[in-house]
Structure 1
Amino acid sequence: MEKTLFNPDMESISASDQEKLEKSLLRDQIEYVYGHSKMYQDKFSKAGITKDKIKDVKDLALLPFTTKQELRDSQKRLAPFGDFLAAPAEKISRVHRTSGTTGSFIYTALTKQDLDLTHNCGARAFWAGGLRPHHRVVHCLNYCMWMGGYTDHANLETTGATVIPFGVGNSRQLIQVIKDAGINAISSTPSYPRHLEKIIKIEFNMEPAELGLKLGLFGGEPGLENPVYRERIETTWGMKAQNANYGVSDVLCNFASVCLDNYKLHFLGQGALLVQLIDPLTLKDIPITPGAVGEMVLTHLKKEAQPLVRYQTSDLMEILETGPCECGRTGFRFRIVGRADDMLHVKGINVFPNGIAMVLEDIVPEVTGEFQIILNHPSPYTGLDIKVEHGIHITPDKMIDLKLKIEKKIQETLNFKGIIELIKPDSIERSKMGKARRVIRNY
């Protein structure tokens, strides 16, 4: 009988046992951080907090938050790993760096113990998404130091699947490899299949479904939460499209995935991460209950190299379900609403790029789905200037009608005014890291 959970002890842990585990691990982690991390020694001292005051999860509210900028500043003070490095240099087994999408990158160091836990959590996610040892999966994320490249490769291997390390670029060769090597699964960003479709049809005279891919494991950018886009991938490619790779690269590479029964992200980082929610304005803690929305704050529970405490991720999370899922996993289910630093206020309406992406996806192929919000001054905004790539078959005489159609759909769906400028397909630069830069601030 095939196992349905990769790590049943963690993935199906009861709420009471998880609470006990987190309490025990948190005490040990705080003890370790207090004894080995110069940055946190200084932060705790400045806050007037001793390690003895942190005895339970609720006590974390006594501690100051950690921000990404603090990590950047730390690595400027003490290159390359910062004074939040808590392990001796000789214990570091691997070094990555973050994508730097929202600022300068951060070097992320991991010990052998850190890697083992990272790979286990990542394998839980890919297994939940449907990956099994019989799969032959081609991994198409950037291997050049980014966590999503080599570490996700190792996460995929941990499931027992055969992994082909392709990376990014040279799409024609990728299609040939998929044909030649009998590959039946792909790991990439959700926008990548759309890029491949044109090459498959034009250069190979094939339909994507003829390649034989049966499973897509996607992450690194939004998209699959839109059922219209997901259905289009599945119909075009003849494969199951799974949102199977959500993580925060400077914390834990992959700790959430949908399962085969429930298309909501499951938290799968039990024993590695403590998740909290805060109000992004008041910074007050919010209980993790169905319907709660707040900024995700993460604390490591067993990290050696660069443990983080009360780390503000800027990701806004909505809790969808708690309690056991029918798949047997007990982690809460959630969705990412957007990023706190990308949230825009337009005449009292909160606007996220994800919402605009979903509106545009509904009218593909009249548009490619790629867009950028152009901000020429700080808030407040009465409307947003949005550059949108039109589809390849849109002729000049159809431009005005398409522009008005998009503006109307945004108004009706998202309740704000979008001023659309249509631009040529492929004119918006695609990130090599698979990250879409949706908000451009020209001030």
Structure 2
Amino acid sequence: MYKRYWDEERETMPREKRAKLILEKIKKQLHYVYHEIPFYRDLYDRAGVKPDDVVTLEDFTTKIPVVKKSMLRESQEQHHPFGNYLGANLSPIVRIHGSSGTTGKPTFYAISQKDWDHVAEVHAMCFWAAGIRPSDRVHLATHFSLFIGSWGSLIGVEKLGATAFPIGSGETDRQLNLLWHLGNTVLISTPSYCLHMLETARHQGRDTANSPLRMGIFIGEPGAGIPATKRAIGEGWGISVADCATTSEMTPWTTNCECEERTGMHVFNDAVYTEVVSKDNPNEPVPEMTSGGLVYTHLERESQPMIRFWSGDESRMTNEPCACGRTYPRLPDGVYGRLDDMLIIRGANVYPSAVQKELLEVPGTGVEFRIVLEKKGHLDHATVQVEYNPVYYNNIPAHELPQQLDALQKAAAVKLKNATGVRFDVEVLQPETLERAISKAKRVFDHR
């Protein structure tokens, strides 16, 4: 019989005691980065703030400026290769990772041995909370390249004592053959690739609801916190679904992670302090359960520490107790939007994750879709292309299928209009029309 917690004293600590501990860690980090890291000293001097100005957690939110990804890119352009925020007097750098580099050149992450050991401990704690145990065999279907999510998952699984099968992503037919052959019990992947694996397994004729898997942890992109997506994965595979992750800059990135109660992601805020702030002003805190932007701070990283990193993620936070007994706050709805990914269509704000949520609630839609935006004259024109689910229409006579798909198209258009206020043209596509992602899915094609 396994213990319930990885570190019971830490995870069940009274909130007031933890808040004092967090404040002390913040003060220590502020002095470290100000005196040892030029990037932060310059940032704080320009803002007219000193470490000793922070006496309370509220001071930290209202006085300390945020760091944005664009600032990190600029720093690395000017101070090759790691920027002027690497850190001083460190133990040797033992790992170099990076962003996916969708803008061209990746942002590099340099990690010391001390920090990599810290990552292993935090990831093990969070994976344990999600439900992985040493008896599990973990199928790591993530991209082993620059993407630090894969390597962080691997080290967390190894530290926890479970068996890791780091197969990576791609070669999906082979993935599935090996998953069944080895009897792997836990899947770690992006939600998009998991759904692709599910679709492929069904085409192979497999009984997916009775696979060897018992649970999955989903990282790298929003999705597993969207109820319809979570349901599609959970029911399709017959597994328990855990949503997890912050951003790669914030490694250890597991510090937003669901426990076995599956009531939203716990925020392990004594490792990475997490704030919810105004979308328009990152120095303005918002009340509990108010939607806002997520800002993260490393409390123990010495190499490339992020202090008040503006993630661009949107969520809301609660301190309501969880039945698991952990006293960390929670993001009850997970991360449900990317403020940076928000689309403005004819003056309306639309999130791709909201479109995904609404589509998956229309009976008969498949899991693959994309949004295509164009200009027609002076106006925005929005189209959603979505595949239909062949399993749903399996027993429909061929001559009736066009009529059924026409009804699906109309139902999806009405659903999207009611939810977003934007009229989308909906195109219902044949299954397997859209390209499948082996990592993060590209959903938006903006040609305006």
Q: TM-score, normalised by structure 2?
A: 0.88
* Partner residue in 2 for 1:53: 53
- In structure 2, how many angstroms separate the alpha carbons of the residues matched to 1:267 and 1:105? 28
Q: What corresponds to 1:368 in structure 2?
A: 366
Give 1:149 deviation, angstroms.
0.9
Structure-2 residue corresponding to 1:19:
19
* Greater CA drift, 19-28 or 338-347: 338-347
* CA-to-aligned-CA distance 1:50-103 (integer Å, 9 cap, x gap): 333234322322222211000011111112211111145761111111223577
From the superposition, tell whether residues 2 and 163 of structure 1 become closer, same or farther in structure 2 (CA, over 3 Å).
same
Contact in 2 for aligned 1:72/1:104 (Cα 8 Å): no
Shift of 1:314: 0.4
Are the structure 2 counterparts of residues 234 and 154 from structure 1 closer, same or farther at C-alpha, using a change threshold of 3 Å?
same
Name which of structure 1's ranges 165-174 and 382-391 shifts more when overlaid on structure 2.
382-391
Separation in structure 1 between the aligned mates of residue 309 and residue 291 of structure 2, nearest angstrom = 17
Q: Give the corresponding residue for 2:163.
A: 162
1:363-412 CA-partner distances (Å, limit 9, x unpaired): 36x3322222233369x987733232344569666554332221012123
One-letter identity of the residue aligned with 2:309: Y
Name 1:309's counterpart in structure 2: 307
TM-score by length of 1: 0.89
Corresponding position of 1:126: 127
Q: CA deviation at 1:185?
A: 1.7
**CA offsets 1:321-364 (integer angstroms, 9 cap, x no match):** 30431111111111223011122355675422111111211236
Alpha-carbon separation, structure 1, partners of 2:183 and 2:442? 34
**What is the deviation of 1:312?**
0.6
For residues 80-159 of structure 1, the aligned pairs below 5 Å read 80-87=81-88, 91-101=92-102, 104-159=105-160
Structure 2 counterpart of 1:175: 176
- Amino acid across the alignment from 1:404: K
Distance 1:69 1:165 in 2: 32
User: 1:423: how far off?
Assistant: 4.2
Aligned length: 435
What are structure 2's unaligned runs of at least 5 residues?
Answer: none
Aligned match of 2:69: 68
CA distance 1:171–1:225, shift in 2 (3 Å): same
Q: Contact 2:134–2:161 (CA<8 Å) still a contact in 1?
A: yes
Give the deviation of 1:221 after TM superposition. Answer: 2.4
Q: Measure the CA separation in 1 of the matches of 2:286 and 2:403.
A: 53
Q: Of residues 304, 315, 324 in structure 1, which corresponds to 2:321?
A: 324
Instruction: Give matches, 1:238-249, under 5 Å.
Output: 238-243=238-243, 245-249=244-248
What are the Cα deviations for residues 121-164 of structure 1, in whole angstroms up to 9, with x where unaligned?
22222112111111111111111121111111111222221111
The answer as to whether partners of 1:346 and 1:381 remain within 8 angstroms in 2 is: no
- What do you get for the CA RMSD once the two structures are aligned? 2.6
User: What is the correspondence of 1:204-223 to structure 2 with a 5 Å cutoff?
Assistant: 205-223=205-223
User: Are the counterparts in 1 of residues 115 and 302 from structure 2 also a CA contact under 8 Å?
Assistant: yes
Partner residue, 1:336:
335
AA paired with 1:110? I
Distance 2:183 2:386 in 1: 37
Structure 2: how far apart are the matches of 1:239 and 1:64? 42
Q: Could you say what secondary structure the match of 1:155 adopts?
A: helix
Q: Is the 8 A contact 1:279 1:295 kept in 2?
A: yes
Q: Cα deviations across residues 275-327 of structure 1 (Å, max 9, x unaligned)?
A: 122211233422452x22110111221111101222110001112x3043111
Tell me, in whole angstroms, the C-alpha distance in 1 between the residues paired with 2:36 and 2:208.
52
Which aligned segments of 4 or more residues in structure 1 are displaced greater than 6 angstroms?
380-383
Letter matched to residue 213 of structure 2: L
Q: Sequence identity, in percent?
A: 28
Cα distance between partner residues in 2 of 1:227 and 1:250: 27
* Counterpart Cα distance in 1 of 2:10 and 2:386: 44
Distance (Å, rounded) in 1 between the aligned partners of 2:404 and 2:324: 48
- Whole-angstrom CA distance in 1 between matches of 2:232 and 2:383: 28
Distance 1:49 1:283 in 2: 16
Alpha-carbon distance, 1:425 to partner? 3.9
Distance of aligned partners of 1:287 and 1:413 in 2 relative to their CA distance in 1, 3 Å threshold: closer
Partner of 2:41: 41
**5+ residue gaps in structure 1?**
none
Report if aligned partners of 1:276, 1:288 keep a CA contact under 8 Å in 2. no
Residues 110 and 306, structure 1, Cα contact 8 Å, conserved in 2: yes
Structure 2 partner of 1:438: 443
Amino acid in structure 1 at the alignment position of 2:335: I
Q: Distance in 2 between matches of 1:211 and 1:275?
A: 36
Task: Answer yes or no: is the 8 Å Cα contact 1:383–1:416 preserved in 2.
Answer: no
Counterpart Cα distance in 2 of 1:37 and 1:367: 51
Q: Does the 8 Å contact 1:138/1:183 carry over to 2?
A: yes
Q: What is residue 282 of structure 2 aligned with on the other side?
A: 283
Instruction: Pick which of 53-62 and 139-148 moved more.
Output: 53-62
Q: Which amino acid aligns with 1:369?
A: V
Structure 2 CA distance for partners of 1:38 and 1:13, relative to 1, 3 Å:
same
Q: Distance in 2 between matches of 1:202 and 1:347?
A: 40
C-alpha distance in 2, partners of 1:275/1:37?
Answer: 22
Which residue is equivalent to 1:402?
408
